[in-house]
């Protein structure tokens, strides 16, 4: 890959972040996915860089937030980058992205004539090095853009670590709502007890209906409808609580339940991120 500007955000096990800002007229970068680290490799391996480059190592900005909780790392950041930028988020060993969420920043409403037409500002990849057990999320930015990104990465065993080298954008929704839960038949009222006990939720029936519709659309692989229903579930759940931390507590409680309850917990975790 050839670019002029690249930012590598390396997350360490303790949640500390190292930022490497690389620039040049033109330089090549690659993510080594078929070899282990050698002495000559830099601290941001599996990324390797080739060419006449300038590297500025700096601290992260105030907009970057990282939380370590048990076997999970939550990473949140806001980006304002020019076209042609490559952003690489490098996770600690044996951590892989489990839930991914983007947020658009609103346009300044000046000078719009009619309806604004938008197009994807870039592409996203998830790259794995099975030998080193290192994973990175890559943004290849084609347009000037400001956006928000949130991710929960989970610690997995070496046996569970993905052997595939690359996941492209079409697969991202399956990361956020894992197909491991497709054997759930339906969400019952009994499965919603924890929500009913914890939230001041006047319309639990609507949550029940929406979650079952979401489960059905995930099973049928209807990603657009699934995203719409996921957003709807988020609005219903957030309306029932004053703080997102309440949802996080409920999500943690659902993780120890059956498969249906784990599915609910995963939806709540996505909403609260």
pLDDT in tens, 101-122: 988 888 777 766 655 556 778 8
Q: How confident is the model at residue 203 (pLDDT cuts 50, 70, 90)?
A: low
Q: What is the pLDDT of residue 251?
A: 83
| Residue of higher predicted confidence among 111 and 265 | 265
Strands 95-104 and 145-155: antiparallel
Residue linked to tokens 């890559």: 138
pLDDT in tens, 45-97: 999 999 999 999 998 989 999 999 889 999 999 999 999 999 999 999 999 99
Q: Where are the domains of the chain?
A: 2-176, 180-272
How many residues are listed for the chain in this entry?
A: 273
255-273: b (≥16 Cβ within 10 Å) or e: eeeeebbbbbbbbbbbbbb
**Which parts of 62-171 fold into alpha helices (H)?**
none
């Amino acid at each position: 890959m050839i670019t002029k500007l690249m930012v590598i955000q390396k997350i360490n096990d303790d949640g500390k972040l190292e930022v490497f800002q690389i620039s040049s007229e033109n330089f090549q970068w690659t993510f080594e996915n078929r070899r282990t680290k050698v002495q000559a490799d830099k601290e941001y391996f599996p990324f390797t860089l080739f060419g006449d480059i300038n590297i500025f190592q700096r601290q992260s900005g105030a907009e970057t937030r990282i939380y370590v909780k048990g076997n999970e790392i939550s990473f949140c950041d806001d980006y304002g980058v020019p076209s042609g930028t490559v952003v690489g988020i490098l996770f600690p060993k044996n951590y892989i992205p489990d839930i991914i969420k983007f947020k658009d920043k609103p346009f300044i409403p000046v000078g719009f004539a009619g309806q604004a037409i938008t197009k994807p500002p870039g592409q996203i990849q998830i790259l794995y090095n099975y030998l080193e057990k290192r994973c990175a999320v890559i943004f290849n930015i084609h347009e000037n853009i400001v956006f928000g990104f949130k991710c929960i990465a989970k610690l997995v065993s070496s046996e569970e670590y993905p052997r595939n080298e690359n996941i492209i954008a079409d697969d991202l929704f399956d990361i956020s709502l894992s197909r491991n839960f497709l054997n759930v038949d339906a969400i019952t009222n009994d499965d919603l007890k924890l929500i009913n006990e914890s939230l001041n939720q006047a319309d639990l029936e609507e949550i029940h209906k929406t979650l079952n519709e979401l489960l059905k659309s995930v099973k049928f692989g209807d990603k657009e409808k699934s995203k719409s229903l996921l957003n709807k579930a988020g609005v219903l759940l957030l309306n029932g609580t004053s703080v997102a931390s309440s949802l996080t507590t409920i999500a943690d409680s659902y993780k120890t339940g059956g498969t249906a309850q784990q599915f609910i917990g995963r939806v709540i975790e996505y909403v609260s991120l």
